[in-house]
Structure 1
Amino acid sequence: MDNFRELPAEELPAGVHSGCEFTSVCINTAIYLPWLVGQCARHGVRFRRAVLKHVTEAAGLSHSGRRADVVVNASGLLACRLGGVMDSKVYPARGQIVLVRNEANSLMPTTSGCADGEDEVVYVMQRALGGGTILGGTYMKGSWDPNPDPNQAMRIMKRAVETHPELTGGKGVEALDIIRHAVGLRPAREGGVRVEKEKIDGTWVVHNYGHAGWGYQGSYGCAERVVELVDEIVGRTKPLSKL
């Protein structure tokens, strides 16, 4: 990682055992995801929406009119319920956040835990181009609850203004300009991400799921491996994908 260094004890905040810093990026997903869709469309990808009970049903959705040679299974959390996959190792890691209009500085602190509980953490991320600032959060393994918890939200906001007083100019939680509260269920998996090929009921499937909270960070590397596996299946010696 660029500019990586371990933090000496005198630079650590109170109550923190160890830490490091490095140069990173912050993605405004509300802009990034539509851009990816545009890139796919530019390269000729056809989009279809459908409800599937079995992964092999996707092979019959090809715009070509014939059955597809390969299905790429990127079903995320619901890989645990999709017919033909039914991966019992997949589970949700519930993340609750508060999106505010207040601005933080360029630092994006993240902790691996906090005094409020083992499944609660601290992070502050200001999105580019007016995307607001994300205050987090939680990492609750096995929780399917999609509803924001008001008590957790209050703890999240209190921790954020303590680590980033510039958010409110020292005025506390009451000065936060809240856009919305949100919950996301990260697609975690025991044993880590699954990127491999498998023949299911006569259909080749390439799996790519189980990324938990690092899906954006690992997306390009995992996609490159998926392309390699697809090429192995169809017998290509040189990757043809442009994505």
Structure 2
Amino acid sequence: MTKYVILGSGVIGLYTAYLLLEQGFSSKDIRIVAKHVPGDLSHDYASPYAGATVNFVKSTDPDIKSYYKYTYQKLGEIRKKFGASSCGVDLTTNTESWIEMPKKEQLEFFKSYNNNWRELKAEEMPKGAKFGLSYQTFVINSPLFIRKLFDFVTSEGIKVDKREVKHISEIFDSNTEIVFNCSGLGASKLGGVEDSKCHPTRAQVTVIRAPHLEGVRLHWNESANYMIKRPFSGDEVILGGFYQPKNYNRDVNGYETKDILKRVTECFPILKEGQSIKDLDILREVSAFRPGREGGVRIEKESISGKTVVHNYGAEGTGFVQGLGMARHAIQLAIRSSKL
């Protein structure tokens, strides 16, 4: 059997597998156990409609800051390695604004690794914005990207055991040395873990086709307002959105779609001259669960039944854009690797 077991095949689990291979660990020693894999559709699994861009870091937590910075740097390497259209990672221009000024330390940290930025003029920002930035960054076609990661790690020889795990001890065997628990929302019900701090954070977005739109726009006021042009998708644009902690509603609410469309068209120049909201080419309206957790991400090592388990979950909606840094931290805890 295998020394290193990764529980979960979402982006955090696949980032972990990718980094282990990159650091020279044999694929024969690594196994992924997961109920869902890329291509599956479930509210309990990574959403195929997630909009992912590496944006400004509001957190002052040094770990979170390091996760974002490392992921930003590694995504550039991954894009170069696989090719942008193959892995779904492309460069874009973000314009991001707030109704409150970010802290000086937040701005200084962001500018320390993102050199292609400028401050927005008042006329470039939505009504009520106090500060804004334009900067070059990465935008991710999330289903294409997660599929590429999965295909890569399996082509390198990592085996996948597709099954549901009720208790974490089910994946232990005599050769198991380390388990990376990347089970996301599943950590709340996983026997041996049962993290009561885990909860879904509900999202709802509207996806339109809009060849005339480019880039990413984000505006943070009392709501989360964003327009994300998904690369290599046939001009799909994700409009959002909602962040609703502990909301277990899987339905798509028509009144929330109307709210999204009203907000984003007021914030950003989405409509062509003479157009109204009813003229938008709406492809789909979807809801999904982000893997939230009170207190934020959990990256922690413990011993369960004599086995080393490193927990790595709770990224909510940021798994794609800080997950490489999270995976690096988990591997360092587990293996004390000086290479990462």
Task: Return the letter of the residue paired with 1:30.
Answer: P
Q: Which residue of 2 aligns with 1:123?
A: 226
Q: Which residue of 1 aligns with 2:139?
A: 26
Q: Which residue of 1 aligns with 2:156?
A: 43
1:79–1:86: 8 Å Cα contact kept in structure 2? yes
Match of 2:136, SS state, is: coil
Q: 1:135 to 1:209 in 2, by over 3 A?
A: same
Write the mapping of 1:1-12 to structure 2, written as runs, cut at 5 A.
1-12=114-125
Cα displacement (A) at 1:32: 0.7
1:99 to 203, 207, 217: 207
Matched, 1:77 2:180: no
Q: 1:214 to 1:167 in 2, by over 3 A?
A: same
Match of 2:217, SS state, is: coil
2:206–2:240: 8 Å Cα contact kept in structure 1? yes
When the two chains are superposed, the root-mean-square deviation of aligned CA atoms in Å is 2.2
Matched, 1:194 2:298: yes
2:271–2:277: 8 Å Cα contact kept in structure 1? no
Q: 1:101 to 1:9 in 2, by over 3 A?
A: closer
- CA–CA separation in structure 2 for the residues paired with 1:204 and 1:53: 18
Task: Return the letter of the residue paired with 2:276.
Answer: G
Q: Which residue of 1 aligns with 2:310?
A: 206
- CA–CA separation in structure 1 for the residues paired with 2:273 and 2:160: 46
- Between Structure 1 and Structure 2, the one with more strand by share is 2
Matched, 1:138 2:251: no
Q: 1:4 to 1:90 in 2, by over 3 A?
A: farther
Which stretch shifts more, 210-219 or 182-191? 182-191
Matched, 1:227 2:331: yes
- CA–CA separation in structure 2 for the residues paired with 1:80 and 1:170: 49
Cα displacement (A) at 1:133: 0.7
Which stretch shifts more, 83-92 or 31-40? 83-92
- Identity, in percent, stands at 35
- CA–CA separation in structure 2 for the residues paired with 1:57 and 1:22: 46
- CA–CA separation in structure 2 for the residues paired with 1:193 and 1:104: 37
Match of 2:288, SS state, is: strand
Q: Deviations over 1:84-109 (max 9, x none)?
A: 11112222211110111123533312
Cα displacement (A) at 1:170: 4.0
Q: 1:104 to 1:124 in 2, by over 3 A?
A: farther
Cα displacement (A) at 1:69: 1.6
Q: Which residue of 2 aligns with 1:185?
A: 289
User: Any unmatched runs of 5+ in structure 2?
Assistant: 1-113
Match of 2:157, SS state, is: coil
Task: Return the letter of the residue paired with 2:217.
Answer: P
State TM-score, norm by structure 2. Answer: 0.61
Cα displacement (A) at 1:76: 0.6
Match of 2:162, SS state, is: coil
1:112 to 202, 208, 220: 220
1:123–1:136: 8 Å Cα contact kept in structure 2? yes
Matched, 1:159 2:270: no
Q: Which has the higher contact order (CA 8 A, sep 6+)?
A: 2
User: Any unmatched runs of 5+ in structure 1?
Assistant: 61-65
Task: Return the letter of the residue paired with 2:147.
Answer: P
State TM-score, norm by structure 1. Answer: 0.84
Task: Return the letter of the residue paired with 1:70.
Answer: I
Task: Return the letter of the residue paired with 2:126.
Answer: P
Q: 1:170 to 1:72 in 2, by over 3 A?
A: farther
Q: Deviations over 1:142-179 (max 9, x none)?
A: 11111111100111112223334444544111111121
Task: Return the letter of the residue paired with 1:140.
Answer: Q
Q: Which residue of 2 aligns with 1:176?
A: 280
- CA–CA separation in structure 2 for the residues paired with 1:111 and 1:225: 30
- CA–CA separation in structure 2 for the residues paired with 1:2 and 1:167: 31
Task: Return the letter of the residue paired with 2:292.
Answer: A
Q: Which residue of 1 aligns with 2:85?
A: none
Which stretch shifts more, 221-230 or 139-148? 221-230
Task: Return the letter of the residue paired with 1:148.
Answer: V
Count of residue pairs brought into register by the alignment: 226
Greater C-alpha radius of gyration: 1
